Structure 1
Amino acid sequence: MLINCTIPVIDLHDFPAQSSKLIRACQDWGCFRVINYQKTLPDSLMSEMKCVVRSLFELPQEIKLRNVDNIVDRGYMAPSQNNPLYEAFGLFVSSPKDVHDFCSKLNASHHQRATIIKYVEAVRELFADITGKLADGLGISGFTIQGWPYQFRINKYNFAQATVGSRGVQMHTDSGFITILQDDDGVGGLEVMDKSGIFVPVDPCPGTLVVNLGDAAAAWSNGRFCNVKHRVQCKEGNLRYSIAAFLWGPNEPVEAPAELVDSAHPRLYAPFTFEDYRKLRVSTNQQAGEALDLFRLDGCTNGDN
């Protein structure tokens, strides 16, 4: 498959041959596209899930608001002053019960419920596959994401001709380990920042998924991996839908494995729990990776490297 893309493309069927390419993508970009994932997440299931997504956003507002949680960003987000064109549902997954509760609160049909459950399970397998390849590429043994919670944000961008040039979502990094994004097949707008500080477009590319690395991956990798800054801009006057799945991090403190720490690579970050880190990002309103610098052991910021 030949793909013209601004960010690296990783073939999940071509390992270990692509292991070094994967690690370079994580170091240089903090993001990449994957192909040949369909054995785990079939195209038919992705299409079914996108239909479910559209139907959820058509629900009356009073039903959407049932998607609540006591932690910021887990439940329904209506358009806001910061992101007036954006709304989203949140589905936090720590057990199968979370998925059933989400479906019940939104009056999901049997078919919708079955589709969501299958999609959630398939993405969990992809998380395990991709993170396992990352660990192998760094020479980390015994790595597992068993017991790690994850979250889905089901996104709608209310783009119209009058909003072209406006912001869809402000610049940010993801706080967790990795994000798997099923992007809109036709409507673009996602942009990632390269190492020179310039935003480059990540245009729609059917048959691929976007993977972003977050703050937790940067700390876990002892600074080897980039926590990519990204945003969404309105480029055309059409509604845009996407499904982002965030693998948060371990329940124990996030810290670099011993294999990544030596005299040439001293430990860069103090251990932190992911839940505490998320709360810190919210309380300090530091959404673009700045909060991670508060855990630097060398007193430097990411911009000093």
Structure 2
Amino acid sequence: MANLPVIDFAPMLSDDPKGRSRLASELRAACIANGFFYATGTGVSPEAAADAIAAAKEFFTLPEAVKLTISQARSPHGRGYESMSNQRLEPGAEADLKEGFIMGVDLPADDPRVVAGWPQYGWNLWPEGMDAWRARVEAYHAAMIECAGVVMRALALSLDVEETYFDDFRREGVATLRMLHYPPQPKDASAAARGAGAHSDWGGVTILLQDEVGGLQVKNGEDDWIDAPPIPGTFVVNLADFMPRWTNGLYRSTVHRVINRSGRERYSLPFFFDGRGDYVSETIPTCIRPGETPRFAPLSVNQHLAEMYAATRAA
């Protein structure tokens, strides 16, 4: 694929059977080909998206000492501030040249899932004296949970199952928002330097809001890197690792990376919709042809997230 398709999800927000059928067909083709596409018409307003980027910029301009008051080191749930070069997503590459703020569904310490130690279930860390900023971030997070529901329902239709098929996966699922800041890549950077190393995502779907700078690259079916530049009014959506498991390899979870050669600061907000911790993926019946057997063993969200999170912490 020389370019990623732009797909309009507006039919999912109206009573438009023909539009939904067209959407399902376009989405199926994109998911088989590359598992990456641009999305419009998801119900998230341009104003909400612009404010989310502005909120990210505000956070990363805070003094380092302030950001460190909510360091991930203080959180047993991977929430809070992620220092520069704390993660290495690509084995053999340098640590990722980015910093982040991570939040998710806020749960109290006595929630049974928190007590049981489910990965990514817990409470958020927030900078003091920034209640209005916190409210803006929480509002965007809530909007993205709704957006993910729209995408997941459309994905179900693309697989010839009821649009409610993924509702059990979605219910009380891990829904993680990361605000990311990528400084410009140094001009003398080594060939192993990355803003975010080559990787696939882990759960159900990722919905990415980019600023205008660019730097995202996707590996296509010919094993070439293609750019996924920002398109105003869109998100970049990619399938994560549970989709191939569900579809017996029909749909792809594609490797991607970020290299910021723009000479400018880059900001992006990936929203990871990874599903309910005790949900176990099993092959969707419509994805098994006569005589075929499932290629993937059942796997729980909890097991997968714990393994992947541990594997990508920078040494």
Structure 1 segments unaligned to the other structure (5+ residues): 288-305
Give the equivalent residue in structure 1 for 2:134: 113
Instruction: Report how far residue 119 of structure 1 moved.
Output: 0.7
2:5 is matched by which residue type in structure 1? P
Aligned equivalent of 1:27? 32
Q: Is the 2:215–2:259 Cα contact (8 Å) retained in structure 1? A: yes
2:5 aligns with 8
Q: Is 1:217 the equivalent of 2:243?
A: yes
How many residues align? The count is: 278
Deviations 1:231-255 (A, max 9, x none): 0012210000000000012332122
Counterpart amino acid of residue 124 in structure 1: I
Q: 2:16 — aligned with what?
A: none
- Residue type of the alignment partner of 1:83: A
Query: Which stretch shows the higher mean deviation, 54-63 or 256-265?
Result: 256-265
Letter in 2 for 1:18: L
Which secondary structure state, in structure 2, belongs to the residue aligned with residue 76 of structure 1? strand
Instruction: Report % sequence identity.
Output: 26
Whole-angstrom CA distance in 2 between matches of 1:46 and 1:283: 31
1:100–1:114 Cα change, 3 Å: farther
Q: Which moved more, 1:156-165 or 1:240-249?
A: 156-165
Distance 2:40 2:218 in 1: 19
8 Å CA contact retained: 1:160, 1:239: no
Aligned partner of 1:92: which letter?
A: G
Displacement after TM superposition at 1:116 (Å): 1.4
Q: Offset at 1:9?
A: 0.9
Aligned-partner residue type, residue 216 of structure 1: F
- Counterpart AA for 1:120: H
State the match for 2:220 in structure 1. 194
> Please, what TM-score do these two structures have when normalized by structure 1?
0.82
Task: State the alpha-carbon separation in 1 of the partners of residues 248 and 267 from structure 2.
Answer: 34
SS at match of 1:125: helix
Q: Which amino acid aligns with 1:49?
A: A
Q: Is the 8 A contact 1:163 1:234 kept in 2?
A: no
Distance 1:173-1:286 versus aligned 2 partners, 3 A rule: farther
Deviation of 1:152 after TM superposition, in Å, equals: 1.0
- How far the C-alpha of 1:67 sits from its partner, in A, is 4.2
> Could you tell me whether the CA contact under 8 Å between 2:106 and 2:122 is conserved in 1?
no
Superposed displacement of residue 77, structure 1: 1.9
Q: Which stretch of structure 1 is more off in the superposition, 123-132 or 84-93?
A: 84-93
Summarize deviations over 1:19-38 as a string: whole Å, max 9, x none.
Answer: 1110110111111001123x
What is the identity, as a one-letter code, of the residue corresponding to 1:123? M
Q: In terms of mean alpha carbon deviation, does 203-212 or 54-63 score higher?
A: 54-63
**Secondary structure in 1 aligned to 2:229?**
coil
Summarize the Cα distance change of 1:240–1:96 in structure 2 as closer, same or farther, 3 Å threshold. farther
1:53 aligns with 2:56: yes
In the other structure, the counterpart of 1:150 is 175
Distance 1:108 1:173 in 2: 36
SS of 2:82's equivalent in the other structure is coil
Match of 2:101, SS state, is: strand
User: Could you list the runs of 5+ residues in structure 2 that have no partner in the other structure?
Assistant: 11-18, 87-93, 110-119
Q: Structure 1 pair 241/67, CA: closer, same or farther in 2 (3 Å)?
A: same
Q: Pick closer, same or farther for the CA change 1:285–1:264 going to 2, 3 Å.
A: farther
| SS in structure 2 at match of 1:162 | coil
Q: Give the corresponding residue for 2:275.
A: 249
